[in-house]
Amino acid sequence: MNSKEMTARIADNGASSRVVLRFIRQNFVTGVSTIVATLDSNAFAPSAVAQARTVSFNNDAPELDFKNNFYFISATLSKLGSSGNPVVRGIRICPRFVVR
């Protein structure tokens, strides 16, 4: 299995804030962009304190191809009201190790 994980320390203190992180692949030749993984704070319980949140991706796809593509992360932090306080403290992309 070729699983990877995107883990981020994020805070989303409720309905007035949101963090969306997208791990994106762009082909050097064609310029075509593809979203590889999305981490959305609305998929987790709200927290005013930054916590590690993880999404898995690339389960059956080939390994990351740095010869033909480059990769980047798009971060959208939305403050939807005066009490909103979206935070990103750090992001990492790494293999998911499965102990058997």
Distance CA 83, CA 85 (A): 6
Residue 100 lies in a domain: no
pLDDT the model gives residue 62: 66
The CA distance from 33 to 25, in Å, is 6
**Tokens 């927290």 sit on residue:** 47
Mean pLDDT rounded to a whole number for the chain: 90
55 assigned to some structural domain: yes
Question: Do the domain assignments include residue 33?
Answer: yes
| pLDDT at residue number 59 | 64
Please check whether residue 46 lies inside any domain of the structure: yes
Contact 19, 77 (CB under 8 A): yes
Q: Is residue 13 part of a domain?
A: yes
Structure tokens at 65: 């191809």
Residue 82 lies in a domain: yes
Its pTM stands at 0.88
Minimal CA–CA distance to 55: which of 21, 31, 90, 89? 21
| Residue 53 confidence (pLDDT) | 96
Residue 20 sits at the vertex; the CA angle it makes with 15 and 22, to the nearest 5 degrees, is: 170
Q: How many independent structural domains does the chain possess?
A: 1
Mean pLDDT for each 10-residue chunk of the chain (100 residues)?
A: 86 95 96 95 95 85 84 96 94 74
Q: What SS3 class is residue 44?
A: coil
- Domain of residue 63, residue span: 4-95
Distance CA 42, CA 17 (A): 9
pLDDT in the model for residue 63? 75
Here the tokens at position 25 are: 């692949």
pLDDT computed for residue 47 by the predictor: 94
